[in-house]
């Protein structure tokens, strides 16, 4: 697929997807969603891609939400289809068997915050701004925000953001656990890519099993979730990387992982 609304590059096992509609602050329209879906599928299928990084073009926005100029004329059935598509893409990305990191470089509002919530890790520039302002235009979040936000920052804080539509800066987002790390604007992408390369060098199957256990165990009863974890961990013993990791530890040397 040819991309016109995103940039997509791969280097050192790290794919970088840049939302690229800076004039509209990278707002998500249907075309951008279709390209995001395609890129997520490519990342999932391509064995040379081991980590995905998402960021926004320009110096103002990650994603300023779903495209309001497209949504304004929706009838309920179109709105539902737009939400279902967004939810499917984000769930596919969230459960992808490889780490996904958001490098939030500016406004991440509405759908922009929701995209970041579906990433495994959120890094932010000092200029980042988060929020779920849907209520200010007569909506509620529709791409998983009412569900993922409480799971990540707690129900009380999520309700505060969703019911007020207030925006928060990177520092506040860090304080409430919404972002993992903050960097000066010019360091965000280099630091994120350095961290992504580190993850790309980890045993890939173990990373896959970790995400699987977290995502598919989260809503199970504890006994069942721990059983799932044990089975995922046991599967790791089928890999060369587990053999190499333990051998290297006992031989007091750095492991050389092959991803097998
Ligand atoms: N959609 C479409 N265009 C946008 C969006 C957007 N979400 N955000 C910004 N733009 C456009 C502006 O219209 C403007 O375009 P133009 O230059 O042609 O007038 C350009 O980007 C620059 O924006 P501003 O002039 O507004 O820049 P400011 O610096 O004054 O303000 C803000 C920046 C604060 C980010 C402001 O643009 C803003 O508030 N944007 C909207 C944020 C928002 O409400 N996002 C949530 C949208 S709803 C949503 O995401 C729900 C998703 C899931 C539900 C799906 C339901 C079907």
> SS3 for 200?
helix
Q: Give the residue extent of every domain in the chain.
A: 6-200, 204-250
pTM over 0.85: yes
Closest residue CA from atom 53 of ligand 1: 142
Q: Percent of the chain, pLDDT > 90?
A: 100
Q: What is the pLDDT of residues 149-183, one digit of tens each?
A: 999 999 999 999 999 999 999 999 999 999 999 99
109 C-beta closer than 6 A to ligand 1:
yes
68 C-beta closer than 6 A to ligand 1:
yes
Q: Provide the CATH topology of domain 6-200.
A: 2-enoyl-CoA Hydratase; Chain A, domain 1 (3.90.226)
Secondary structure (H, E, C), 156-197: HHHHHHHHHCCEEEHHHHHHCCCCCEEECHHHHHHHHHHHHH
Closest residue CA from atom 39 of ligand 1: 64
Closest residue CA from atom 32 of ligand 1: 64
CA 16 to centroid of ligand 1, rounded, Å: 23
Catalytic residue, from 114, 160, 175, 191: name it. Answer: 114
Q: What is the pLDDT of residues 82-130, one digit of tens each?
A: 999 999 999 999 999 999 999 999 999 999 999 999 999 999 999 999 9
- Ligand 1 pocket test: which of 20, 36, 68, 117 has the largest number of ligand atoms within 8 Å of its C-beta? 68
CA 110 to centroid of ligand 1, rounded, Å: 9
pLDDT band (50, 70, 90) for residue 142 = very high
Q: What is the pLDDT of residues 229-242, one digit of tens each?
A: 999 999 999 999 99
The CATH-assigned architecture of domain 204-250 is: Orthogonal Bundle (1.10)
Catalytic residue, from 11, 31, 35, 134: name it. Answer: 134
Please tell me if the domain spanning 6-200 has the same topology as the one spanning 204-250.
no
């Amino acid at each position: 697929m040819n991309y016109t609304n995103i940039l997509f590059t791969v280097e050192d096992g790290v794919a970088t997807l840049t939302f690229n509609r800076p004039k509209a602050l990278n707002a998500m329209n249907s075309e951008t969603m279709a390209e995001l879906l395609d890129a997520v599928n490519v990342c999932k299928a391509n064995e040379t891609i081991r980590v995905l990084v998402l960021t926004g073009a320009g110096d103002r926005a990650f994603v300023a939400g779903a495209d309001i100029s497209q949504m304004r004329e929706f009838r309920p059935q179109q709105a539902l289809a737009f939400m279902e598509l967004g939810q499917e893409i984000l769930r596919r990305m969230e459960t992808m068997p490889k780490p996904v990191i958001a490098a939030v470089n500016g406004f991440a509002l509405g759908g922009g915050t929701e995209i970041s919530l579906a990433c495994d890790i959120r890094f932010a520039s000092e200029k980042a701004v988060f929020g779920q302002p849907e209520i200010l235009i007569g909506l509620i979040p529709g791409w998983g925000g009412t569900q993922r936000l409480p799971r990540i920052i707690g129900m009380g804080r999520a309700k505060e953001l969703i019911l007020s539509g207030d925006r928060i800066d990177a520092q506040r987002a860090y304080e409430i656990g919404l972002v993992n790390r903050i960097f000066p604007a010019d360091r965000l992408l280099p630091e994120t890519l350095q961290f992504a390369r580190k993850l790309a060098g980890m045993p890939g199957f173990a990373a896959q099993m970790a995400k699987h256990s977290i995502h598919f165990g989260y809503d199970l009863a504890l006994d069942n979730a721990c059983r799932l974890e044990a089975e995922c961990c046991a599967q790791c013993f089928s890999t060369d990387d587990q053999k190499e990791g333990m051998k290297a530890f006992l031989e007091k040397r750095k492991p050389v992982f092959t991803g097998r």
